[in-house]
Amino acid sequence: MACPFQMGLQDATSPIMEELLHFHDHTLMIVFLISSLVLYIISTMLTTKLTHTSTMDAQEVETVWTILPAIILILIALPSLRILYMMDEINNPSLTVKTMGHQWYWSYEYTDYEDLNFDSYMIPTQELKPGELRLLEVDNRVVLPMEMTIRMLISSEDVLHSWAVPSLGLKTDAIPGRLNQTTLMAMRPGLYYGQCSEICGSNHSFMPIVLELVPLSYFEEWSASML
């Protein structure tokens, strides 16, 4: 999860989020180089008195500053499209969980089990235990097995919501009457926090998401205890 005064993105937990972090660094370096070049040219023009009378008529210069931006756009677009297609892939999920957004809580249903579903409400501040996080803790966490492909089916029963977990690289809109899907895979166990990322009413800030990623053996014990 994010730390106080954190400037960068959260640590990656899934392969998709690792790819997104690499793409972010790749694009940021290109932006940094372009900004440095423009700043250098501006400072040079303001500080030097040397002029070149044929600069405005140089075909070579015009060719370079036309082709170079096209090459830069290709260097940004190709990895971006690669990650976009990777995020849409559904690779034989081992488990399917349906998520429904409400005003203002989430409900979850494990569709591979006969009767495993629950609602997830935020824990009020006055009921928090020592060490728990304000506005992020819920009464029922979503327990999922790690290192397995999990399909999330996401929809809403009232207004627009958005199911987002930054450290997993997930953000999918919950739209009434429409079923969206996304996949997740966590490479290590832990608690991963998210929130509704679409303004959905007065209590929009009070719809946290908590995923508890555990080994498969623990998940089987938990699912058996919930049935």
Region 193-222: what's the mean pLDDT? 92
pLDDT at 54: 64
Mention every residue, 6+ apart, whose C-beta is less than 8 A from residue 66: none
pLDDT of 151 higher than 90: yes
pLDDT, mean over the chain: 90
pLDDT at 87: 87
Determine contact, residues 207/179, Cβ cutoff 8 Å.
Answer: no
pLDDT at 23: 95
Other Cβ atoms closer than 10 A to 56? 8
pLDDT at 217: 93
Domain boundaries, the chain: 15-88, 95-226
Dump pLDDT digits (tens) for 159-207.
Answer: 999 999 999 999 999 999 999 999 999 999 999 999 999 898 888 989 9
Same fold, 15-88 and 95-226: no
pLDDT at 52: 67
CA distances to 57, 100, 109, 111, 146 from 114, rounded to whole Å, are 75, 18, 10, 7, 22
pLDDT at 2: 77
Dump pLDDT digits (tens) for 46-60.
Answer: 888 776 666 666 777
pTM for this one? 0.83
Rounded Cα gap, residues 78 and 85, in angstroms: 11
Which amino acid belongs to residue 66?
A: T
Residue 51 tokens, joined: 């002029």
Could you tell me which of 136, 152, 128 has the C-alpha nearest to residue 16?
Answer: 152
Region 7-26: what's the mean pLDDT? 91
Dump pLDDT digits (tens) for 65-116.
Answer: 889 999 999 999 999 999 999 888 887 889 999 999 998 899 999 999 988 9
Determine contact, residues 94/183, Cβ cutoff 8 Å.
Answer: no
Three-state SS string over 76-121 comes to HHHHHHHHHHHHHCCCCCCEEEEEEEECCEEEEEECCCCCCEEEEC
Domain 95-226 listed as CATH 2.60.40.10: no
> Which CATH number is associated with domain 15-88?
1.10.287.90
